[in-house]
Amino acid sequence: EAGVAQSPRYKIIEKRQSVAFWCNPISGHATLYWYQQILGQGPKLLIQFQNNGVVDDSQLPKDRFSAERLKGVDSTLKIQPAKLEDSAVYLCASSLYSSTDTQYFGPGTRLTVL
């Protein structure tokens, strides 16, 4: 069974530029998550989708971050404009139904904002 796929794996941008990350969850998984992990910290949930509806986006900085889940499968997370403090690893995860189920994480995208 294929795991969660993410791209790109690494990205370096200047502050105020925009960037987009892509995630393809495990086939059949209804719930998809985007986490931000700052060095030395645990993952922090940015947004949770169930199918193509948003379940929780309370910690998403909506003035600069946006996310969508196309047809309830793939998802894109965008940052526009980026700030220095956005430097982090962005992890995508998916689970079969809800957050009570096992979450399977992708390899992450390491973002560096200069």
By CB under 8 A, name the binding residues for other proteins.
Answer: 33, 40-45, 48, 55-56, 91, 98-100, 102-108
Pairing of strands 19-24, 31-37: unpaired
What are the structure tokens assigned to 82, written together? 């980026």
Q: Closest separation between CB of residue 92 and other proteins, Å?
A: 9
CA 83 to CA 72: how far, in whole Å? 29
Phi then psi dihedrals of residue 94, to 5 deg? -140, 155
Q: Which is nearer to other proteins, 48 or 82 (CB)?
A: 48
Task: Report helix, strand or coil for 84.
Answer: helix
Q: Closest separation between CB of residue 31 and other proteins, Å?
A: 9
Tally of CA atoms within 13 A in the half-sphere of 46 that contains its CB: 26
Which amino acid belongs to residue 73? V
Q: Which is nearer to other proteins, 14 or 42 (CB)?
A: 42
Q: Which is nearer to other proteins, 76 or 99 (CB)?
A: 99
Q: Which is nearer to other proteins, 40 or 71 (CB)?
A: 40
Q: Closest separation between CB of residue 47 and other proteins, Å?
A: 9
Q: Closest separation between CB of residue 86 and other proteins, Å?
A: 19
